[in-house]
Amino acid sequence: ETGVTQSPTHLIKTRGQQVTLRCSSQSGHNTVSWYQQALGQGPQFIFQYYREEENGRGNFPPRFSGLQFPNYSSELNVNALELDDSALYLCASSNRQGPSYEQYFGPGTRLTVT
Amino acid sequence: RKEVEQDPGPFNVPEGATVAFNCTYSNSASQSFFWYRQDCRKEPKLLMSVYSSGNEDGRFTAQLNRASQYISLLIRDSKLSDSATYLCVVILISSGSARQLTFGSGTQLTVLP
């Protein structure tokens, strides 16, 4: 196991609602990245947090937002949910000072929007 | 064009077979390269890093050709437990200096008894 945890495991929401997903990073890691994985696709980069600030973002609209806390845990918030937001949401923790840039994934939160 | 493209698969091979996966990437500024493995309904897990000099880990061999922007993974003597989706991954430094993993769509491998 990677030591990265996510909650909840599964979630069902209605279109237009808001959702918050949570991630606890592996001990010793200071960076958290979030990814969206639609069925049959590879994960897509949403954004990355380091030192409680967003320091990179993929091609996702502003209704996807996040936070990182002093203990390096993180939240992903999605407003005004759309049907296409149904996906597996993965967080990955890493150490920015690490030499190999390896990222370790949590088990994911499976979000279904109806 | 996708930034990382893989063989679409699926690959169905008998136990003991050798199977090769290919991947190309479009951004020549890509810095690091990996193969991840993802089991059904699970998170991706790092299989191995990929270097220009080639690297081997047991039955797995990975190769990078920077000039052709091509990455490969060879699995020898396939086992039933190798059945999974294999994801080709490159790292780009995005705006803001984030190290962004860019994934291919994955190639599904099923090893048959």
Instruction: Please write the tens of the pLDDT for every residue from B65-91.
Output: 999 999 999 999 999 999 999 999 998
Residues of B in contact with A21 (CB under 8 A): none
Do residue B101 and residue A57 have CB atoms under 8 angstroms apart?
A: no
Cα separation, A7 vs B57, in Å, equals: 34
- Where b means 16+ CB within 10 Å and e means fewer, B42-80 reads ebbebbbbbeeeeeeeeebbbbbeeeebebbbebeebee
Q: Which of A6-15, A34-43, B96-105 has the lowest mean pLDDT?
A: B96-105
Of A58, A90, A102, the CB nearest to B100: A58
pLDDT band of B92, cuts 50, 70, 90: confident
Q: Is residue B26 over pLDDT 70?
A: yes
What is the pLDDT of chain A when averaged over all its residues? 92
A41-58 residue pLDDT tens: 999 999 999 889 998 889
**B window 54-83, beta carbon within 8 A of A:** none
Do residue A56 and residue B106 have CB atoms under 8 angstroms apart?
A: no
Hey, which of A43-57, B13-27, B41-55 has the most confident mean pLDDT?
A: B13-27
| Minimum distance, in Å, between the CA of residue B87 and any CA atom of chain A | 7
The burial class, CB within 10 Å (0-12 / 13-18 / 19+), for B14 is: exposed
- Residue A55 pLDDT: 86
